[in-house]
Structure 1
Amino acid sequence: MKYCLLFLLLAGPWAYAQPAPQHNLHFSTLAAVWDEGIPLGNGTLGALIWQKGDHLRFSLDRSNLWDLRPMKGLNRPEFRYDWVAQQVQQNNYALVQQYFDAPYEAQPAPCKIPGGALEFDTRLWGAATDVQLNIATAECRVQWKNGVTLRTFVHATQPTGWFRFENIAPDFVPQLRAPQYTGNKDQAAGGSIAGDDLARLGYTQGTINVHGQTILYRQPGWNGFTYEIAVTWKRPGPGILEGTWSISAHYPRQPATPAANVVRSASATTYANAYTQHTHWWQQYWSKSALQLPDSTIEKQWYLEQYKFGSVARSHTPVITLQAVWTADNGRLPPWKGDVHNDLNTQLSYWPAYTANHLEEAASFTNWLGKTKAAGEKYTRQYFTAAGLNVPGVQTLDGQAMGGWIQYACSPTISAWLSQHFYWQWSYSMDTAFLRRQAYPWAKATAQFLESVTRPQANGKRQLPISSSPEFNDNDISAWSYQNTNYDLSLMKYAFRTAQEMATALSLPQEAAHWQTLEAALPPLALGTDQSLQIKENTPYTTSHRHFSHLMSIYPLGLLHWENGAADQAIIRRSLQVLDSIGPQGWCGYSYSWLANLKARARDGEGAARALQTFAKAFCLPNSFHANGDQTKSGYSGFTYRPFTLEGNFAFAAGVQEMLLQSYAGYIHVFPAVPDSWKEMNFRDLRTQGAFLVSAGRTGGQTDNITIRATQGGKARLLLPFHTWIISGEKGVISRKVKDGFMEISFRKGGHLTLHNGYE
């Protein structure tokens, strides 16, 4: 009876899986700047709700609004890895910068571009008194002093946004505002962080036409590209205005449904009906996983990150770019052109998806990489003159290189890092078809490239011609090394190792043996005399830096395992001690998110929680957007600027999950890195490698229940967190075996097992 009661108490919080009201955004007034607006999105469309002067403003965006003109200079015959290596050797690096770095700053495009805005005149309403984002339903509600109310959402599965006003005057109508693409092109450069003025794109200003209760805006772009925004509305009752909007992108030879047709079709239904369809998707999304923590700040931020992830990722939508569907609405291009940054930005953006059980949304990354793979293969032949696959570190929406700091913009190990997401998508789903059709072909082509581009040395070890560690020494010639940096070395080891594992799973023993041989031919990681990971051999980490690229072997790659014992533990512990001792002067917000994951792998729950708290407190805007710099100016970083990017947000969520559940070492470990003060907590349906869903709870500082569900069947290995236990439920369990503190369970597909602490 005791354990039945305990089970009911633990199950109580999960009676419904939706976020709680305390996780919502709630303000007493509308934001006065675009990047603090209420964010809405569906992976294709996005909106930010805020107040611009005396008008309510919806900043409208679409993920594939891009100026895709080629970056000048990258068609030069010198655009080759071996030519760059020659210039480094000849101490002529200024020429490399002139050819391949300077154009990124000098040219406004290729780049992500904004859509436009809806505005509503609120001068007669008084101030907004209540602004809420309900993240469970992805709906924003606003109330004004005079009683006017607004409800608005971006439809979860349709390319439409909706709005409904109540208590408005009969003549109230929306207004469509176009971005200003005309102006002084010669004096409008803002650089990659501030963003160039839109006038530098050289577009002819689009036209806005009003036809009854419909407004249509068409904007021509580069080389035949156009986009269209349409909004239509109706008055279903006294004092009510209900409307819908959409954006369509039109590229030559790529048919797309015009936005006018989309809103015409959508307007046949009602706000209420569309809202019901919309909330069904979000109910399913939130049902995938949940958690409760004793730290309300970290818990709320985790839910806000899950909300934003659900707003920007779908299996059929483009990759998450720097700002995804929330491009700057300030008359300028977004920070760093809003591009596809594989320096770490795309990778960190998908870190939390797998454990949070959002594999379908995570597929937006691997599917997009598959669609642009041919462009990557062409780039590999052009720049590296090598076989196999590597992709640019800075890309356009269609996979073309954009230049920039050549060390990471054209790094030889980009595809190796991206291969981790193919590996994770497979290992967390155990989808053999995905492994055969997508994951292994990517991993194999990447391994073939690395075999081609590396050269055996006199000592028999393989070496890149030149290597770097982003973003150490920035774009200076000193950033290059004739030794493998730990960054490149870790990624090469990982690429060969995962290719071997995938080949083995597909019963390809000869290929697996070949990749194993190549991994063995790589030199060991560079360690200092104190056993800390260095940037490269004889180059310790001595200056605070935002990018922890030398620590890749700890996280995310997991080549060094705390579970391996004293040797690996010493390296991990000492490397993080050095990182802490140098301090955060050079860190950004995402550095703290990454640090939380590193600390969790080192079993330092206190350190992980502290990093997460700092991120949420100092590096986020009121709407939870990651602003890169320390917004409190409290010494958490030397950067105090505020360019908005998303990777720090999503890496934060991954850090929370690493504290609660780890499976990378070949077994399930619940609550591996939580602070001692976290006595009461639980989580539901976090996913592990091997395709198991795990739920667990703690009471009084002790783990007292674990449930494992097998989505595919197979063997799960569990590190038992209690000495004695009660089996309170099981189905589809073939066998159980306990040895040395581990329980190995063989499941049929759909099987489950629930254990409770025996409280010996």
Structure 2
Amino acid sequence: MGNGKLGCLIWGPGNVLNFSIDCAGLWDTTSAPGTESPDFTYRNLIDLVYRQSWKKLQNIFDIPYSHPTPTKLPAGRLVLYGLGQTYRSRLSLQNARAALTFERGLLEAYMHAQSPVGIIVMDRIFADVKMELYAPDFSSKADADGDADCVTGKPLSALGYSPAVQISKNGVTGFVQTTGSGAFALLMAKKVLQEKIVLFFTVAQGADEETALETVRRTLSENVELDLKLLWQGHRKWWKAYWSRSEIELPSVPLERLWASATYFLASSSRRGGVPCPLQGVWTADNGLLPPWKGDYHNDLNLQFTYCHYLTANHLEEGMVLLEHLERLFPQTRKFAQRFYNVPGGCYPGVMALDGTALGGWPMYSLSPTHQIWLCQIAWRHFLYTNDLDFLREIAYPMCQQAAELIWGILCRHGDYLYLPLSASPEIHENTPAAWLTPNSNYDLALMRWLFQTMPKLEYELGLPTDSRWIRTLRNLPVLAVNREMRLMLSPDEELRESHRHFSHTIAIYPLKLLKPSEETDMRIIRQTVDGLERLGTKEWVGFSYAWMALLQAICRNGDKAEYYLTLFQDVFTGPNGFHLNGDFKQKGVSRYTYRPFTLEANFLAAEAIQHMLIQTEGMAFEVLPAVPASWKGKRLSCFDFRTDNGLQISVMRDDCNHVLVRCQAIYAGEWVFRNLNQTFSLNAGQVKTFSYCA
């Protein structure tokens, strides 16, 4: 369960029922030693790569990531003892409420949709149940493993905090915990009604213990005094409005569940006024360890894929959480550009803390200057879906402009073309010298070509004069590298020759759309590239690879394969609660990775793949049901109120006789081509056009 501010996992046998609690934005942002060192600069990175001084390079740029901070933190655990040994459980995605039915009675729990508070409602018969709040164990211990793998998570004790201070006063219990960059408090209050026992809990953080406690106490008192029925009605009303924004009905139960789960995770982890969804959303692991990869913001695909499906799904408010946070980081990005790159502009580090600072890590990826262009592309897409000129002026244009300034400042001319001093393709060749590819990798090149062809469009929309630097730079960038078989390469002199989890060289296909499926040559490159990935096998794939391949197959108009890869993703790489667990943890032989670190990005990518099966656009043209599996023929399916990047809101309904009804409403005025019927039509903002035909 989650409400964007708080999250909760319910687990364990009924006699010891655990509620693992998380708080969005709960971080220790203490900088890692080394990231502020005078040696931690792009100039030094270039020099060490060219001198092949690999050990020194790793010590300066990679080792800082091994430090426990910056990191996301767990908030604590509520444990109920003696409810009963066994129970039946169900989580309703529609109203975000968990129901646990015991032999003695019923327990229901939800994170209130509009207030940062968790609510547990139990039958009065559970009056004898013991309740305890436990703080995470951050205390110093001699056995804290400083060399533990950040993938599986370092022990919490590596942080070395003083023990939490216990609180018990006026019926309120809990604790307050000082961290390396502030404090947080978790408190609980109990309310006894005629037939029910109600527990309220909440978490807040502050600059110090007093501030955190004051916020928590105020939130608790405000909610405990409210009528329980009114609380529930407000919660249910919010979720009803959320689900009314869009919906789907598919012949495939697994795929329908994938889309619904991702859409639920989005609302649970990303709320206006909060912070963007990190790797684990609001469900930080409660296992005595720091979260996998420290729960940070990975900008080489994880953060971008987390925010890839919200636009088509018509959940713009939830997506704005990311974009407004990126806007708040403008001062930090400009500071980082000056300090690390020594050029004007701005840069979001490839591996980023909540406050926008760099964590270090594999330097070819964690310190890539081009990852941020993918974030810029999300902002541009948001404008295309909304036509919001204020957003373009205040957020999207400044993001793209500062990225263009930075890239323009570091490009070097060799012969007829411009090149980056260093280039890579996430996460090819892992953290080895071979990962430094011959510039420009197709990944870097595609992002730069997109940026410099988009900058004049941004300036045109805002009525600004076109900066001639962008046009000149685009003209002087090489074209994408393609081999004899018409497959996208990794770089000008290297092809992908082995299975790999990260299809970074395909970014020109999605999401950048530099290659157009309507163009015969481009579509051949797309299909040959996707075919090449399949031929190399899935040995090195992880969960997001399967979702990514499903999306690429949908772009290739291959619905059968898109469904196949999504079904595998659902069956092999997701747990019972729907979370993506990265590895083939059931050991079904589809990947050599059998671990199970939890991250969310692949859930959202799977939802985006499903949306591509139902609607695709290119310029002002669109197509409905472009990648529907043959097995769905003669079966009902629908999607309602999906948005497009060319200004439409589209609903599609197909009955079991393959009769299709399409409803298009214009978000802004324009002229479109409906490719299914090869019809052109014009609408003003708000106008509706319907089509009816047999598929």
TM range (shorter): over 0.9
Task: Normalising by structure 1, report the TM-score.
Answer: 0.88
The amino acid of 1:114's aligned partner reads: P
Residue 104 (str. 1) matches residue 43 (str. 2): no
2:440 to 479, 484, 505: 484
Partner in structure 1 of residue 545 of structure 2: 591
Rounded to whole Å, the distance in 1 between the matches of 2:659 and 2:479 is: 38
Residue 216 (str. 1) matches residue 152 (str. 2): no
Residue 113 (str. 1) matches residue 73 (str. 2): yes
Partner in structure 2 of residue 59 of structure 1: 20
1:254/1:717 CA distance change after superposition, 3 Å:
farther
In the TM superposition, 1:370-409 aligns within 5 A as 370-409=327-366
Secondary structure at 1:562 match in 2: coil
The amino acid of 2:101's aligned partner reads: Q
Secondary structure at 2:629 match in 1: coil
Moved more, 491-500 or 247-256: 247-256
* Contact preservation (8 Å) 1:185, 1:200: no
Partner in structure 1 of residue 457 of structure 2: 501
Rounded to whole Å, the distance in 1 between the matches of 2:188 and 2:616 is: 47
Residue 144 (str. 1) matches residue 97 (str. 2): no
Query: What residue ranges of structure 1 are gaps of 5+ in the alignment?
Result: 1-39, 723-740
2:216 to 255, 259, 278: 259
CA shift digits 1:146-172 (9 cap, x unpaired): x22111100111111111000424443
Q: CA deviation at 1:210?
A: 2.1
Secondary structure at 2:4 match in 1: coil
Rounded to whole Å, the distance in 2 between the matches of 1:137 and 1:294 is: 23
Partner in structure 2 of residue 353 of structure 1: 310
Rounded to whole Å, the distance in 2 between the matches of 1:253 and 1:641 is: 38
Q: CA deviation at 1:185?
A: 4.2
In the TM superposition, 1:627-666 aligns within 5 A as 627-666=581-620
Secondary structure at 2:560 match in 1: helix
In the TM superposition, 1:378-457 aligns within 5 A as 378-457=335-414
Partner in structure 2 of residue 195 of structure 1: 153
CA shift digits 1:216-258 (9 cap, x unpaired): 31001114x11011110111115x2112111011126996652
The amino acid of 2:31's aligned partner reads: P
The amino acid of 1:620's aligned partner reads: T
Rounded to whole Å, the distance in 2 between the matches of 1:754 and 1:535 is: 44
Rounded to whole Å, the distance in 2 between the matches of 1:488 and 1:555 is: 14
Partner in structure 1 of residue 680 of structure 2: 743
Secondary structure at 2:691 match in 1: strand
Moved more, 247-256 or 420-429: 247-256
Rounded to whole Å, the distance in 2 between the matches of 1:484 and 1:470 is: 13
1:165/1:698 CA distance change after superposition, 3 Å:
same
Residue 274 (str. 1) matches residue 231 (str. 2): yes
Rounded to whole Å, the distance in 2 between the matches of 1:122 and 1:718 is: 63
CA shift digits 1:245-303 (9 cap, x unpaired): 11011126996652111101110013322111011111111001011111111111211
Secondary structure at 2:68 match in 1: coil
Moved more, 111-120 or 447-456: 447-456
In the TM superposition, 1:724-735 aligns within 5 A as none
1:169/1:305 CA distance change after superposition, 3 Å:
closer
CA shift digits 1:588-638 (9 cap, x unpaired): 101111111111111111121111111001000010000000123122111
In the TM superposition, 1:19-38 aligns within 5 A as none
Rounded to whole Å, the distance in 1 between the matches of 2:257 and 2:74 is: 29
Rounded to whole Å, the distance in 2 between the matches of 1:103 and 1:296 is: 45
Partner in structure 2 of residue 727 of structure 1: none
1:215/1:541 CA distance change after superposition, 3 Å:
same
In the TM superposition, 1:288-307 aligns within 5 A as 288-307=245-264
Moved more, 285-294 or 206-215: 206-215
Rounded to whole Å, the distance in 1 between the matches of 2:659 and 2:260 is: 23
Partner in structure 2 of residue 510 of structure 1: 466
* Contact preservation (8 Å) 1:676, 1:701: no
Aligned-CA RMSD value: 1.8
* Contact preservation (8 Å) 1:185, 1:202: no
* Contact preservation (8 Å) 2:82, 2:130: no
Residue 708 (str. 1) matches residue 682 (str. 2): no
Q: CA deviation at 1:501?
A: 1.6
Q: CA deviation at 1:188?
A: 3.1
Q: Give the number of equivalent residue pairs.
A: 691
1:752/1:469 CA distance change after superposition, 3 Å:
same
Rounded to whole Å, the distance in 2 between the matches of 1:495 and 1:701 is: 45
Residue 204 (str. 1) matches residue 165 (str. 2): no
CA shift digits 1:330-380 (9 cap, x unpaired): 111000101111121100001100000011100011111011121111111
Rounded to whole Å, the distance in 2 between the matches of 1:478 and 1:690 is: 41
1:150/1:539 CA distance change after superposition, 3 Å:
same
CA shift digits 1:125-179 (9 cap, x unpaired): 2311x1010111000010112x221111001111111110004244435211111
Secondary structure at 1:46 match in 2: strand
* Contact preservation (8 Å) 1:116, 1:179: yes
Partner in structure 1 of residue 6 of structure 2: 45
* Contact preservation (8 Å) 2:13, 2:85: no
Query: What residue ranges of structure 2 are gaps of 5+ in the alignment?
Result: none
1:619/1:170 CA distance change after superposition, 3 Å:
closer
Partner in structure 2 of residue 464 of structure 1: 420
The amino acid of 1:294's aligned partner reads: P
Secondary structure at 1:159 match in 2: coil
CA shift digits 1:171-220 (9 cap, x unpaired): 43521111111252444343201111111101001022222421131001
* Contact preservation (8 Å) 2:456, 2:466: no
* Contact preservation (8 Å) 1:230, 1:260: yes
CA shift digits 1:35-85 (9 cap, x unpaired): xxxxx1111111111116831111111011111111111122121112111
The amino acid of 2:350's aligned partner reads: G
2:555 to 573, 595, 601: 601
Rounded to whole Å, the distance in 2 between the matches of 1:62 and 1:424 is: 29
Secondary structure at 1:472 match in 2: coil
Q: CA deviation at 1:720?
A: 4.1
* Contact preservation (8 Å) 1:703, 1:721: no
Rounded to whole Å, the distance in 1 between the matches of 2:558 and 2:580 is: 24
Moved more, 468-477 or 498-507: 498-507
In the TM superposition, 1:573-588 aligns within 5 A as 573-588=527-542
Partner in structure 2 of residue 613 of structure 1: 567
Q: CA deviation at 1:689?
A: 1.3
* Contact preservation (8 Å) 1:376, 1:391: yes
In the TM superposition, 1:547-558 aligns within 5 A as 547-558=502-513
* Contact preservation (8 Å) 2:27, 2:72: yes
Secondary structure at 1:754 match in 2: strand
The amino acid of 2:75's aligned partner reads: G
Q: CA deviation at 1:418?
A: 0.7
Residue 122 (str. 1) matches residue 82 (str. 2): yes
* Contact preservation (8 Å) 2:641, 2:650: yes
In the TM superposition, 1:510-529 aligns within 5 A as 510-511=466-467, 513-529=468-484
Partner in structure 1 of residue 489 of structure 2: 534
* Contact preservation (8 Å) 1:465, 1:482: no
Q: CA deviation at 1:482?
A: 3.7
* Contact preservation (8 Å) 2:302, 2:601: yes
Partner in structure 2 of residue 341 of structure 1: 298
* Contact preservation (8 Å) 2:205, 2:211: no
Moved more, 638-647 or 519-528: 519-528
CA shift digits 1:96-132 (9 cap, x unpaired): 1011212212x11110010001111126x2311x101
Q: CA deviation at 1:701?
A: 7.1
Moved more, 69-78 or 178-187: 178-187
Q: CA deviation at 1:755?
A: 1.8
Rounded to whole Å, the distance in 2 between the matches of 1:529 and 1:652 is: 31
